[in-house]
Amino acid sequence: MDQIKRFDFDMKPKKEKFFLTPLAYLLSFPAVWKRKLKINKVNMKGLKPPYLLLCTHHAFIDFKVTTAAIFPHRANYIVAIDGFIGREWLLRNVGGIGKRKFTNDTKLVKQIKYSLEKLKYIVAIYPEARYSLVGTTAILPDSLGKIVKLMKHPVVVLNMHGNYLSQPVWNLKERKNPLAADMTQIITKEDIESITLDEINKRINEAFVYDEYTWQFDNKIKIDDPNRAKNLHKVLYQCPHCLKEHEMASDKNMIWCNACKKSYEMDEYGKLHATEGETEFSHIPDWYEFEREQVRKQILDGNYHIEDDVRIDSLPNAKGYIDLGDGHLVHNRQGFVLTGQEMGKPLTLIKEPLSLYSLHIEYDYFGKGDCIDLSTLDDTYYIYFKNKKNVVTKLHFAVEELYKIEKDNLKKSQHLNA
C-alpha cells in the first residue's frame, strides 16, 4: 500500500472547460424542466460570483438543480473522492475539488480560498456530506462558521425541495415529482466583519432546516409509486411497538415488524398508518428521531456496543477499490476500532468519539451490502458487515450522539478547570 499513488488533494481547482459547459447544461436542464423546478431567490439581487454556496443534499439530481440555480454562472464543487472513480479527468475539468468525508482537511480550505480569490468562482459545498436519510437536515459541522469568517465572501444557501422524494437514498428508483428550491443570501460580505462565529453558524443552521415529508404533505405532492415504501426499514429499523431492533422489513407500500407482526401502510402523501391499533408515528422523521433517542439512552445507560467481523475495501485514489479482505470492527463508548490486514501488514484504525461528528453510510453499496466508511487523510476504508444486519443507520446515530455527549463533557470539564 505504501507504493500506491494517493489522490492528489494539492492540485489546484480549475475553471470548467468551455467545451464541457454545454454538456453540463444538456444533462441538467431537461431533467429539472420535466419536474417543473421553481427557484425562489431571496436577497440575491445584484450578487455576482465569487461567493460560497451551501447546498442541502438529497439525491444525485441536487447537482442538476444547482446548475440551474446558479445559471449563467459556473462553480467549483466539493466532491467526495468516490465521485471521482473512473472519471477524475472529467470531474477536475468541470471544476470538481476532491474531499474525504468527515476528515479535518486543511488543504480543502486552501482550495476553497484559491477558487474564490483567484478563479473568482462560486464554490458549491454540500456540508451535510451525504444524502439525507429521511428527508430532514443532517448535522452540520461547526467548522462552517470558521470557513466563512476566513474566506470573507458572501454566503448563499440553496435549500432544495422534492429532490429527496424523487429518489430516497434507501430506494433509488427515480420518481418524477415536482421540485423547488429556495436560494437565499444569508450573509453579505459586509456582515462577515461584524457578526460572530455563533451568529454565522446560527444563520446557516436556520437556513438549512427542511423536512421533505412535511413539504410533500403541505403541497399535496402525490407519489403513487407502488413500491414507495420498499427498503424503508433500512432507516426505520426499530419497531416502535415491541421495541425490537433489526426485525423490520418492507416491500411495496408496507413496512412491518417480523417480531410482533405489527404493520404500517405508507400512503401517497408520505404518511404512515398502522393496519391495526395505534399509529405510533405517522410522520416518518418522528420515527427516525425516536430511534436516535433510543440509541442515546443505550449509550448513557452503558448498554451500547456493536461488534462484527467485516470485509474491508480501500480507496486510496480515484482508480477504484482495493479488496483488503476480512477484518473486525468494534464500536462503543470509546469510538471505533477497525483491525485487519493491509497487503500483508497489520491494519489498525482508531476513531475516537470527538474525531467524528457524523458518519457516512451506504445502503447496498454497489450490490455488496450496507456499509460504513472511515477515512484518514490518505485512505478511505469501506466496511461491510458479515453477520450483523441493518445496523448502519444505528451506527450513524451512535456516532452523532457520542460526539454530542463527549463534546458536552469536554465543555463541562473546561468550565470546571477555568
How high is the mean pLDDT of the chain? Answer: 96
- The cell for 189 is 460580505
pLDDT (0 to 100) of residue 418: 65
pLDDT (0 to 100) of residue 417: 76
Residue labelled with grid coordinates 440509541: 295
For residue 1, what pLDDT band results from cuts at 50, 70 and 90? low
User: Judging by DSSP bridges, how do beta strands 96-99 and 75-80 pair with one another?
Assistant: parallel
* Residue boundaries of the structural domains of the chain: 21-218, 232-301, 306-417
Tell me the C-alpha distance between 401 and 418, whole Å: 26
Distances (CA, A) of 296 to 48, 118, 215, 300: 44, 45, 28, 6
H-helix or E-strand spanning residue 239: none
For residue 344, what pLDDT band results from cuts at 50, 70 and 90? confident
Tell me the C-alpha distance between 256 and 248, whole Å: 6
> What CATH code would you report for 21-218?
3.40.1130.10
108 with 147: CB under 8 angstroms?
A: no
Distances (CA, A) of 326 to 185, 312, 342, 346, 348: 48, 6, 10, 12, 13
What is the average per-residue pLDDT within 389-393?
A: 97
Q: What angle do CA 25, 26, 32 make, to 5 degrees?
A: 75
Tell me the C-alpha distance between 312 and 386, whole Å: 10
Distances (CA, A) of 241 to 30, 124, 286: 45, 42, 14
Distances (CA, A) of 45 to 51, 53, 123, 184, 185: 14, 15, 19, 10, 9
Range 267-274, long-range pairs (CB < 8 A, 24+ positions): 268/222, 268/223, 268/224, 268/228, 269/216, 269/217, 269/220, 269/221, 269/222, 269/223, 270/165, 270/212, 270/213, 270/216, 270/217, 270/223, 271/213, 271/217
pLDDT at 29 over 70: yes
pLDDT (0 to 100) of residue 189: 93
> What CATH code would you report for 306-417?
2.30.29.30
- pLDDT per residue over 171-195, tens digit each? 999 999 999 999 999 999 999 989 9
- pLDDT per residue over 45-72, tens digit each? 999 999 999 999 999 999 999 999 999 9
What is the average per-residue pLDDT within 149-178?
A: 96
